[in-house]
């Protein structure tokens, strides 16, 4: 599979997720076998105004490659200018545009999946960006805004015509958020309608399921999102997490990376949600989560986990 001029040797990818796919976790998933990783979504306007919270989200290195940066917004010129700044100052292989985020504060600004209601503007954003950039532009979107506005096929065609090198389709509408089932039949229809690579997304819980999705729909790659939270082993092809000790060892390693990247105060507090994901379904997980909600240091985390082994 190729995204523009980028050769993708492994088409099982880590989907961008706000609050999840930061620098530390992308590294872990890459080690485990994720073929492509993408940053958390970044606001083009926040970049424009120099928002200090945006800068840490941009951190990357050669180990992550091929790596994409995901941005969102609704102003074609701002989007293109910020994308060009990223191309010139960072080490990303492609720019991904988020046109699928269902969160109200994003949608109400006409951004994220709000752009699915305005395909002409969405196309203008892609066209303006591709005119300015030399690296590929990709787009992630949904099958439609709601059940009365299923326009994923039309939308995908406009993205292709506007210059996108690949698209990722989540097989749900914005209205569904993450409820119900991803529509693989619709992913198949979109794939049959375009000539650029299509990456499928939604309800994939293993490499085996990713391969089944590619076989069924003909899509060129798969992004694994929520199922990868607390389970980087998913990219090894494993159907289940390893034993308790290995999971705990990974939690501690992840925590060390977070502290190194963000400092102990922020790193440990951000690890709380990751610990909940890592231990989901594990014996005593409710008690572990309860304790972890009060930890304030790496030592606290270490002591908590040692008691639960």
| Sites in the chain below the pLDDT cut of 50 | none
Q: Which residues are catalytic?
A: 101
Judged by DSSP in three states, 177 sits in coil
**pTM listed for this prediction:** 0.95
Q: What gap in Å lies between CA 62 and CA 49, rounded to an integer? A: 27
pLDDT of residue 144: 97
pLDDT of 309 reads 86
pLDDT at position 245 is 97
Which domains, from first to last, does the chain contain?
2-236 (3.20.20.70), 244-308 (1.10.1200.80)
pLDDT of residue 219: 98
**φ, ψ of residue 162 in degrees (nearest 5):** -85, -5
Beta-strand relationship, 221-224 and 12-14: parallel
Whole-number pLDDT of residue 32: 98
Residue with tokens 């930890």: 295
Give the pLDDT score at 177.
93
């Amino acid at each position: 599979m190729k995204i523009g001029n980028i050769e993708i040797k492994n088409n099982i990818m880590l989907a961008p997720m706000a609050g999840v796919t930061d620098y530390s976790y992308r590294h872990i998933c890459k080690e485990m076998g994720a073929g492509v990783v993408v940053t958390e979504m970044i606001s083009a306007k926040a970049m424009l105004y120099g928002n200090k919270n945006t800068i840490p989200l941009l951190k990357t290195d050669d180990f992550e490659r091929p790596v994409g940066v995901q941005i969102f917004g609704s102003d074609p010129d701002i989007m293109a200018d910020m994308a060009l700044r990223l191309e010139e100052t960072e080490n990303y292989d492609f720019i991904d545009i988020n046109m699928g985020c269902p969160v109200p504060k994003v949608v109400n600004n006409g951004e994220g999946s709000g752009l699915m209601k305005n395909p002409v503007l969405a196309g203008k954003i892609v066209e303006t960006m591709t005119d300015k950039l030399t690296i590929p532009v990709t787009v992630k979107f949904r099958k439609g805004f709601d059940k009365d506005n299923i326009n994923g096929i039309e939308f995908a065609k406009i993205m292709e015509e506007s210059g996108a090198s690949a698209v990722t389709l989540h097989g749900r509408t914005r209205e569904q958020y993450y409820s119900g089932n991803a529509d693989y039949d619709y992913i198949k229809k979109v794939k049959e309608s375009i000539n650029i690579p299509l990456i499928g997304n939604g309800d994939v819980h293993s490499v085996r399921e990713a391969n089944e999705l590619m076989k069924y729909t003909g899509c060129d790659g798969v992004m694994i999102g929520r199922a990868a939270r607390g389970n980087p082993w998913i990219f090894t092809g494993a159907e289940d997490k390893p034993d308790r000790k290995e999971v705990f060892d990974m939690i501690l390693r992840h925590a060390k990376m977070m502290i190194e990247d963000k400092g102990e105060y922020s790193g440990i507090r951000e690890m709380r949600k990751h610990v909940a994901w890592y231990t989901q379904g594990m014996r005593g997980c409710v008690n572990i989560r309860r304790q972890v909600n009060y930890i304030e240091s790496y030592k606290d985390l270490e002591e908590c986990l040692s008691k639960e082994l």
